[in-house]
Chain A
Amino acid sequence: MRELRVYEAIAEALAEEMRRDEAVFVMGEDVGLFGGTFRATEGLMAEFGSRRVRDTPIAEAGIVGLALGAALAGLRPVPELMTMNFAIVAMDQIINHVAKMTYMFGGQFDLPITIRAPGGGGTQKGAQHSHSIESWFVNAPGLRVVAPSTPADFKGLLKTSIRNDDPVLFVEHELLYSMKGPVPDEDEELLIPLGRAETRRAGGDITLVAWSRMVHESLKAAEQLAAEGIEAEVIDVRTLDPFDWDAVLGSVARTRRCVVAEEGWRTIGVGAEIGSRIHETLFYELDAPVQRVAAADVPTPYAKGLEQAALPDADDIVRAALKITT
């Protein structure tokens, strides 16, 4: 199978959906002429022109609001927030408007809007440019939240998100953009359903639950654990809303132990919810309490050593796993 980098997989997904449906268009800061700050919209301006690939002012609330209005009127916008950090600027539009309008208007309107948002830390971008805040959006009902980890999943889940008639926040970790991986040929329609987790590695001793970049740290951790004779099952949940509870609870029911790894802050993170659900559902079947691996509860520091100490990695996952397996 051919290999693509994540940013190429995204650009290909966008191009395919734009060819397929005239209502699909892209808008955002530097998405056109510049080709996207992470190259994820490269080539789109040349093929589709400035009507469907729209460079915008630096006005994130406006970008989301315009996309919402266009969606209300029947288009299928794919706005890009240059980074997830700027979603905070657009929070009122995302939470009070995009996430509410279907329900509070009694289901009268479809909102087929897919907001792409690159984010995450690990490259010394400091406190305001290192956010992994998907938990904020999962906490607000009315949004789908998708956070892929491989090039094929980026492509397949983005295409599905665009075709979905509900609003989707599409979380892209910046450190994954240059990652290469197998992606089916262009003539093969790649659509991956929302709400289905993927088992990245089978194992019977412990379940590691992760999404986005932490899937790769979990896989590294699983190799280290294997060297100690512990076989970890790695579940990539892929979409946080809808969430594949059956897959996670099914795996933990077998392994009886679980570590949840996320790059977001620990306190009231997505891991807290996953751990809590596991405890509520499988308490008497567990051999040990669910462990959380997450970012330290501080603004992400700039200095390399401090940043590494703040963000979770494979070693942290191994330590958490060993705590409940030995």
Chain B
Amino acid sequence: MIAPTDQVKMYKLMVLIRRIEERVAESYGEGKIGGFTHLYIGQEAVAVGAISALNHDDYVIDTYRDHGHFLARGGDPRKFMAELFGKATGICQGKGGSMHLADAEHYFYGGTGIVGGSIPIAAGLGLACAYRGDDRIVMAFFGDGATNQGVWHEGLNFAELWNLPVIFLCENNFYGIGTGVNVSSSLSEVHKKANGYGMPGYLVNGMDVLEVRKTCEEVVKLVRGGSGPALIEARTYRYQGHSMTDPGRYRAKAEEDLWRKRDPIPRLAKHLRAQGICDDARLEEIEHEVEDVCEDAVQFALDSPDPAPEALYEGMFKERFAGDPHA
């Protein structure tokens, strides 16, 4: 049983991610955000359900669709928006951008723009846990596309071989950009790939935040207890295109409509009402609270300074030498 206060928190977090992503899309359209921007709209239940099952000092590592995980991990919406705006006050001082959010304070090791690239790194974080013998674990988020990369295989092989405490969490949204999982993966039921490594594989409904949370709690307990790594496949859907520049013409309207009917936010709202945890007034209030956070984040980003020109050569090395550029 998930405590009612936790359920409300999860609801609020999903609404925050949804609304802030809408603001991101708006700001992108206004030219305030550049480069690649991959929205998390539709997949909120996965990040929120899974991360809420972790301890504060567990390690989380991510792919490039990292907005939702950053916020679910407790990242500051102001620093998030400022990073996307390329401002000095961004979480990475404007040097990372949408795909490279990281947050040391929350043990969030960031988004990589290379599909599958984070998987061996996740195993390495797990190696550190095992090496020190502490009871931390690692959760690695990635998409279905990553499971066809060579390093994905290497990471899972290492993790099982060395019994590392890593949860590999695949958000199967059925598309790697515009190519379907059924035409890119020899086994499109991703959780079954776990069999190849001798680790347990789980399938969850990624549109149901309570189910994600429940399964993750169970798996977290096992992995923390020393059972070795696990693979979870959460089936979900991104409502938007792969990135801001993708109109998504490769998907059928009927398919999109079907998934929108499974939207995790109204689903949890219905549950909260039915359980008497929240009434309509409280749900409305949450919308307003979230709206204030989003407005504040955008305003903060707008008001923040650009990185100073001197920042260009800063932060590459911890120790600098006479021969370095602009040392």
- Among B90, B124, B155, B317, point to the contact of A73 (Cβ < 8 A): B124
Q: Is the interface of A mostly helix, strand, loop or mixed?
A: mixed
Q: Mark B99-132, 1 if CB is under 8 A from A, else 0.
A: 0101110000110111001011111111111010
| Chain B hits for A69, CB < 8 A | 61, 109, 120-128
Q: Are A106 and B93 in contact (CB under 8 A)?
A: yes
| Nearest B residue to A73, CB-CB | B128
Whether B319 and A164, one on each chain, are in contact in the complex, defined by CB atoms closer than 8 angstroms, is yes
A245: Cβ under 8 A from any B Cβ: yes
- B91 is an interface residue with CB less than 8 A from chain A: yes
Which chain A residues lie closer than 8 Å to B150 at the CB level? 61
Least Cβ–Cβ distance between B85 and chain A, in angstroms: 14
From A164, which residue of chain B is reached at the shortest CB distance? B319
Given contacts A104-B100, A246-B322, contact A97 B121 (CB under 8 A): yes
Out of A62, A108, A142, name the residue touching B157 (CB < 8 Å). Answer: A62
Distance in Å: Cβ of B179 to nearest Cβ of chain A: 20
- Judge if A139 is at the interface, Cβ distance under 8 Å: no
B323 & A243 in contact (Cβ 8 Å cutoff): yes
Most B CB within 10 A of own CB, among A59, A64, A69, A103:
A69
Tell me the complex Cα distance, A77–B161, Å. 19
- Distance to closest chain A CB from B165 (angstroms): 12
How many whole Å from A62's CB to the nearest CB in chain B?
Answer: 3
- A93 CB within 8 Å of chain B: yes
Please give, as numbers and ranges, the residues of chain B lying within 8 Å of A56 by CB-CB distance: 158
Residues 146-158 of chain B, each 1 if its beta carbon lies under 8 Å from chain A, else 0: 0000110011011
Q: When A102-B316, A195-B323 are in contact, do A109 and B158 touch as well, CB less than 8 Å?
A: no
Chain A residues with CB below 8 A from B121, complex form? 65-66, 68-69, 72, 93, 97
Which of the residues B112, B161, B318, B322 comes within 8 Å of A96, measured between beta carbons?
Answer: B112
Choice from A92, A102, A103, A107 contacting B151 with Cβ under 8 Å: A92
Please measure, in the bound complex, the distance between the C-alpha atom of A117 and the C-alpha atom of B129, giving whole angstroms: 26
Q: Is the CB of B95 within 8 A of A62?
A: no
Give the A interface residue count (CB, 8 A): 48
A107 and B90 CA atoms in complex are apart in Å by: 12
Task: Please provide the chain A residues from 73 to 119 with a CB less than 8 Å away from any CB of chain B in the complex.
Answer: 73-75, 77, 92-93, 96-97, 101-110
Is there an interface contact between A195 and B92, defined as CB atoms closer than 8 Å?
no
B158 A57 Cβ-Cβ under 8 A:
yes
Q: Given A102-B315, A195-B323, A246-B322, A64–B95 Cβ distance below 8 Å? A: no
- Alpha-carbon distance A69/B119, docked complex (angstroms): 9
Q: Are B318 and A70 in contact (CB under 8 A)?
A: no
Measured CA separation A57–B197 after assembly (Å): 14
- Nearest to A89 among chain B residues (CB) is B150
B151 surroundings in chain A (CB, below 8 A)? 61-62, 65, 92-93
Alpha-carbon gap, A57 to B324, bound state (A): 36
The docked-state distance in angstroms from the alpha carbon of A71 to that of B109 is 12
Q: Which residue of A lies closest to B109 (CB)?
A: A72
Please state if B155 and A65 are interface contacts (CB–CB under 8 Å). Answer: yes
B96 contacts across to A, CB distance below 8 A: 104-106
Smallest Cβ distance from A320 to chain B, in angstroms? 25
> A38-67: which have CB < 8 Å to B?
51, 56-57, 59, 61-62, 64-67
In the complex, the 8 A-B pairs of residues with the closest C-beta atoms, listed nearest first: A69-B124, A65-B120, A62-B154, A73-B128, A242-B321, A106-B92, A107-B315, A66-B124
